[in-house]
A and B are shown apart, each in its own frame.
Chain A
């Protein structure tokens, strides 16, 4: 049903089958929200591809930092193996911090964030699409690389895969919390430092559960999953609110 038709109905003050109209509108709206989120995801992935040098930086940092520890600690395999999940997780956390500060910065500068906030679709879902694109380019490579890096710590492949599994559940949470921090510090001077101060304490539970899950401790993986569920629900809403404030 076209906008004019809806307006005419409203203008005449007729409630001509309002339920049918509402259902029709809701179905179309849901479809268009999905399409909008997918469009934004593809758009962000295309931008990331054009800026791949910057995107790769955080992945390279992860690989280098995680490779330096076995060299520095020395080949005491037993010590190294028990340290591996902790080291890989701290490296992943720091790598994700590296890429966070330009999550919204460029959109803020070129004005496309205005268009995003003014779009009729729910801002929280658009934020989720943006964080999804960010995770695909900066989080997923860490998950893929983790088993290979774990070999340097003398871990059997099973343990490496377990660490990768914990990162698979944990890195999206780091991205979601980071997006909130990036939105809160948008446009502030020295935002990168402030971002670390805001985000790192919030990431500590994820770090603790993530390392636990990497070590194979029983309750850690469900707790990490709970963190993911909570972050998926709360962080986009909070980030959307923070972005609206950042517009002022």
Chain B
């Protein structure tokens, strides 16, 4: 299992967001994407998961060019974006249950709640939760369905120390299990891996 980018570039209108991004990750590989605000970290993640089509270069998954909307690729990807992707009106449990049902893994629902210590707030509407708690719900999706490629946008922002530890434990498990992760982050993760600095190229 490999994820690679070859001379990847993306522009909005005539303004290039990034260009010439190159990397290759094997099973168990972690890529930390760092850079200033507006350097294109989030955009790179959206290109990698196929939500945006690159203007130059290509993303390769298992050695083959990846096209956006390919179900075989999307079966493998978990994307936690800048927005949490949860409905504010419903409870934590209702949100996670919908995700679990859609990926056919309702059994792992208790695990996901436990992974981020969400049992106590499971019945609370997301609207009543703090930013950090909402982020926990978004990240709990990672523990729901086994996906082999994680694309995470600022996962630890607004998390407290306990949630950070829980996230790092989850990420360690993912990488040791042979998964690949691309993480856009401002603070270096202890897992190491490769680092891609955006905005200086």
A248 B94 Cβ-Cβ under 8 A: no
CB contacts (< 8 Å) of A106 on chain B: these are 87
B86 A110 Cβ-Cβ under 8 A: yes
In the assembly, what is the distance between CA of A123 and CA of B69, in Å?
9
In the assembly, what is the distance between CA of A244 and CA of B49, in Å?
13
CB contacts (< 8 Å) of B89 on chain A: these are 46-47, 50-51
Complex partner residue of B83 from A32, A35, A114, CB under 8 angstroms: A114
Stretch from B31-39, B72-80, B109-117, B187-195 at the A interface:
B72-80
* Chain B residues within 8 Å of chain A by Cβ, number: 34
**Contact residues on A (Cβ < 8 Å of other chain), bracket:** 20 to 34
Q: Tell me whether B82 is interfacial, beta carbon within 8 Å.
A: yes
Q: A35-B101, A43-B90, A46-B90 are known contacts. Are A114 and B51 too (CB-CB below 8 A)?
A: yes
Q: Tell me whether B50 is interfacial, beta carbon within 8 Å.
A: yes
A114 B85 Cβ-Cβ under 8 A: yes
CB contacts (< 8 Å) of A50 on chain B: these are 89-90, 125
Q: Which residue of B lies closest to A37 (CB)?
A: B102
CB contacts (< 8 Å) of B82 on chain A: these are 111
Q: Tell me whether B68 is interfacial, beta carbon within 8 Å.
A: yes
A47 B90 Cβ-Cβ under 8 A: yes
CB contacts (< 8 Å) of B125 on chain A: these are 50
Complex partner residue of A115 from B52, B71, B79, CB under 8 angstroms: B79
CB contacts (< 8 Å) of B53 on chain A: these are 248
CB contacts (< 8 Å) of A38 on chain B: these are 101
CB distance from B108 to the nearest CB of A (A): 15
CB distance from A124 to the nearest CB of B (A): 11
A114 B79 Cβ-Cβ under 8 A: yes
A110 B99 Cβ-Cβ under 8 A: no
CB contacts (< 8 Å) of A72 on chain B: these are none
Complex partner residue of A118 from B72, B79, B87, B94, CB under 8 angstroms: B79
Q: Tell me whether A120 is interfacial, beta carbon within 8 Å.
A: yes
B84 A111 Cβ-Cβ under 8 A: yes
B85 A112 Cβ-Cβ under 8 A: yes
Q: Which residue of A lies closest to B101 (CB)?
A: A39
Q: Which residue of B lies closest to A32 (CB)?
A: B104
CB contacts (< 8 Å) of A121 on chain B: these are 71, 102
Complex partner residue of A111 from B52, B71, B83, B98, CB under 8 angstroms: B83
CB contacts (< 8 Å) of A248 on chain B: these are 51-53
B84 A46 Cβ-Cβ under 8 A: no
CB contacts (< 8 Å) of B90 on chain A: these are 43, 46-47, 50
In the assembly, what is the distance between CA of A125 and CA of B100, in Å?
18
Q: Tell me whether B199 is interfacial, beta carbon within 8 Å.
A: no
Q: Which residue of A lies closest to B75 (CB)?
A: A120
CB contacts (< 8 Å) of A36 on chain B: these are 101-104
Against A, the Cβ 8 Å flags (1 = close, 0 = not) of B126-167 are 000000000000000000001000000000000000000000
Q: 10 A-B contacts, Cβ less than 8 Å apart?
A: A3-B146, A40-B98, A43-B94, A47-B87, A47-B89, A47-B90, A106-B87, A111-B82, A111-B85, A118-B79
| Given pairs A35-B102, A39-B97, A112-B86, 19 additional interface contacts (CB within 8 A) | A35-B101, A36-B102, A43-B90, A43-B98, A46-B89, A50-B89, A50-B90, A51-B89, A110-B84, A110-B87, A111-B81, A114-B51, A115-B85, A117-B69, A118-B49, A118-B50, A244-B69, A247-B46, A248-B52
List A residues at the B interface (Cβ < 8 Å): 3, 32, 35-36, 38-40, 42-43, 46-47, 50-51, 106, 109-112, 114-115, 117-123, 244, 247-248
